[in-house]
A = this chain, B = another copy of it.
Amino acid sequence: MLAGLPVVDLCHDIPPEDIRAGAYVLFTSWKYFPVGSVFLAVVDPGVGTTRKALAAFWNNYFFVAPDNGLLSPFMGDDFRAVEIPVPAEASPTFHARDVFAPAARRLALGESLENLGQPCLSPICCAFLSPRETGEGIRGRVILRDRFGNLITDVPAAMLEGKDFAVMAGGREIALARTYGDVEPGQALALIGSGGFLELSVRDGDAAEALSLSVGDVVEVIWKKM
């Protein structure tokens, strides 16, 4: 441990194997950390296989993660990555401990990214968010269920701004609102969540249960005729 270096446990609750949920948490959290922070992020169905281990730099932040799409939200112009060699003695089932954490430590101590490995020119980039314009609106999907049962979709607020629309999910229309308190207890609502995406909730309740929806299910935005 580096004396004086604060370590924050950002999240240990990502559902097993759910790379997209991990990407969402990184994407909605990085800006609350100081420039120069090192994010160690592991959601790793491919641990111990030939998938690469990456150290990366984007927008003055550092990231250490498997090469499986977890860093997709950051793969713009400014993004660069190197491949961290996996030492022979690393446990084939715990790269977080034996590969990623030691690399994060080196970055936190000030080593340059390039010092950690050879450039990785084509890291795996997934369609992290894939809302689709349907002509009549937007077809999105639930990408995360939080511990309260709120359902976060992949429809960003930017696609909805200034528009007049209805939200359909699970075969019914969900009332639009600004926050939970705008509807009666037990009533479902759709709102722009704190991560900047369309969310479905139930006031004082669990939307996933009440609406019988889960990760992957479709949520439709329908433009209103004028």
- Which residues of A line the B interface, CB within 8 A? 1, 3-4, 6-9, 16-17, 32-34, 45-51, 91-94, 97-98, 147-148, 178-182, 191, 193-194, 199, 201, 204
Contact = CB atoms under 8 A, between A and B. Distances in A.
Counting from the closest, the 4 A-B pairs by CB-CB distance are A48-B179, A49-B181, A94-B194, A92-B179
Contacts of A1: 6, 8, 33-34
A18 B180 CA distance: 16
A191 B3 contact: no
A49 B191 CA distance: 14
B9 A6 contact: no
A193 B98 CA distance: 13
A124 B156 CA distance: 36
A101 to B, nearest CB: 9
Contacts of A201: 93
Contacts of A193: 91, 93-94
Nearest to A193: B93
Given A6-B7, A49-B182, A93-B191, 4 more contacts: A1-B8, A48-B181, A93-B194, A97-B194
Contacts of A3: 4, 6
Nearest to A201: B93
The residue among A7, A93, A204 with the most chain B CB atoms within 10 A of its own CB is: A93
Contacts of A147: 16
Given A3-B6, A6-B1, A6-B3, A181 B94 contact: no
Nearest to A32: B97
12 contacts: A1-B6, A3-B6, A16-B147, A17-B204, A45-B180, A45-B204, A47-B181, A48-B179, A49-B181, A92-B178, A92-B179, A93-B191
Given A93-B191, A93-B193, A191-B93, A179 B47 contact: yes
B91 A194 contact: yes
B178 A48 contact: yes
A160 to B, nearest CB: 15
